[in-house]
Amino acid sequence: MGSPFIDALLGAARPVIMELKPRSADGEDLFRGRSPAEITARYEAAGAPCLSVVTGRWFGGDTELLAEVVRRTSLPVLQKDFITNLGQLRTAAGLGASAVLLTAAVLPGAALARLAEQALALGLTPFIEVASLAEAEALPPCEGCVVAVNNRDIRNRERGEADTDRSLRLLPAVRGTGTPCPVSASGIDDPEVAAGLLSASYAGLLVGTHLLRADRLESWCEALDRLRGVPPAPCRAG
């Protein structure tokens, strides 16, 4: 079965998965009084091919936020949380998610492979996140999955500096998993870095904090298009 999430990302002029995350790990309010509906509309206007919704409580999210975003958009939606069991996958599918985060760092090898199969059986695309070469090399075949490199350390809940060079170092190993869709996630803010990751042949990027902080999403998107040398995509967001 095809993956609407992967198809949308691979077909996008501006392949940025835009994330709704109420708070940073340090407690910074990222929504700043805006409703999920407003942020969803802003991301759609900026040409997002898919959205990501953080439901983890330490980032201020919950499954109601996921349900609300799914109600507001027809774009495929990724649920970002520490998913460890089939019940959570069923909830994600029931709420209308298209993809689910599976974090290699918190799932022993057999559990990761089992959850990825169960997700696929429920029609969900596994979005498998790795943060080291060892984790990337230990992955099962990932033909139907997104494989993402997290540029931050998820073990300390995303606090601390991002290392976007990690994505460049791990790309050959990520490709080796057979994924049609390598993604670089977390800590991406500079459009030049974003363009560099895409030209290194990442199929997509996942950006949350920076887009939520940006007063002018349009400027960031246009800078990315310019640096990539692609004609500007329609971007009506402020």
Ligand X SMILES: O=P(O)(O)OC[C@@H](O)[C@@H](O)c1c[nH]c2ccccc12
CB of 159 to ligand X, least distance (A): 11
Query: Which residue type is seen at 115?
Result: L
Nearer to ligand X, 32 or 234 (CB): 32
Report if residue 115 touches ligand X, rule: CB under 6 A: no
Longest dimension (CA), the chain: 45
Of 135-143, 195-203, 205-213, 229-237, which segment contacts ligand X by CB under 6 A?
205-213
Report if residue 22 touches ligand X, rule: CB under 6 A: no
> CA 128: distance to chain centroid?
10
Element (H, E) at 130: strand 125-130
Token pair 């909830």 in the structure block, residue: 91
* CA contacts within 13 A on the Cβ side of 63: 13
Report if residue 154 touches ligand X, rule: CB under 6 A: yes
**Burial level of 15, CB count in 10 A (0-12/13-18/19+)?**
buried
CB of 1 to ligand X, least distance (A): 25
CB of 54 to ligand X, least distance (A): 5
Nearer to ligand X, 56 or 182 (CB): 56
C-alpha angle with apex 144: 134 to 169, nearest 5 degrees? 30
Please identify which residue in 80, 100, 149, 179 interacts with ligand X, judged by CB under 6 A: 80
**Chain residues that interact with ligand X, rule: CB under 6 A:** 19, 21, 54, 56, 59, 80-81, 101, 129, 150, 154, 158, 185-188, 206-210
